[in-house]
A and B are shown apart, each in its own frame.
Chain A
C-alpha cells in the first residue's frame, strides 16, 4: 500500500527566498507523481506532473524532481512571493493517473 509523507507540515519564509518542499513515498513502482496547490476553501490546481520515466519538470519558478530509487520528490520554488502562500500537495499514482495517494501537504506562508 502506497504511503506518501510530506515534510515539513508547515513552512514560513520571507519573500524572495528560494525553498524546497519534500515528498517521500514508500512504493517506488509509481506511474507518475503530481504536485498540486490548494488555496483555503478551494479545489486543487495542478502544478507539475512527472511521469515515471522522467526525472524533473519545470514551469516558471517551479521545478519538481523525481527519484524513484530513493522514493523522493522535491518541489523547488524560486524567488518566493506572498501569492505563493498555499498548501502544496504531492500525489503518487501507482496504476493510473487518477487513483493517487496524497500526502497531507505542506502549508507555505511567504511573508512580505
Chain B
C-alpha cells in the first residue's frame, strides 16, 4: 500500500513561471491537505480538499495560488507567476476522515 506520493521532489522555476505540484493520497483516503514550510519557519496549513470540493482554503494566499482535487487523478497545487518568496517545501497529507495524517515527502520549490 503506497504512501502519499508527491511529485516532483524538486522543482525549479524562474520568477513569473507557473509551478504545478502533484499529490496522490494514500489508497482509500478522500481527504487531502496542503501545507507549506518556509525556510526557518514551521509548517503552515494552506488548504483542505475532498474529492471535487475545497473545504477550507483559509491558509492559502488569495492571489496566484489555487488547488484542486478532481474526481479522477491527483490533487494539484498550482502557483501562478511565482516569486522568490514562494520558495519553500510544500507538503501534502491525506487521511480517512478525522484520523491520523499521513504526509508525503514534499516538493521543494526553488524560484530563481
Determine the chain A residues whose CB is within 8 A of the CB of B103 once the complex forms: 36, 43-46
Kindly state the separation between the CA atoms of A36 and B105 in the bound complex, as whole angstroms.
13
**Which of the residues B42, B100, B106 comes within 8 Å of A43, measured between beta carbons?**
B106
A103 in contact with B98 given A43-B91, A43-B105, A44-B103 (CB within 8 Å): no
Interface size class of B (residues with CB under 8 A): 20 to 34
Docked-complex contact A105 and B91, CB < 8 angstroms? no
Number of interface residues of A (CB under 8 A): 22
Cβ of A9 to closest chain B Cβ, rounded Å = 11
Q: Roughly how many angstroms separate A34 CA and B59 CA in the complex, as a whole number?
A: 20
By a CB distance below 8 angstroms, the chain A residues around B35 are 102
- With A31-B98, A43-B103 given, can you name 20 additional A-B contacts, CB distance below 8 Å? A32-B98, A36-B103, A42-B105, A42-B106, A43-B6, A43-B106, A44-B43, A44-B101, A46-B100, A46-B101, A46-B103, A96-B98, A97-B95, A97-B98, A98-B93, A98-B95, A98-B101, A99-B33, A99-B48, A104-B42
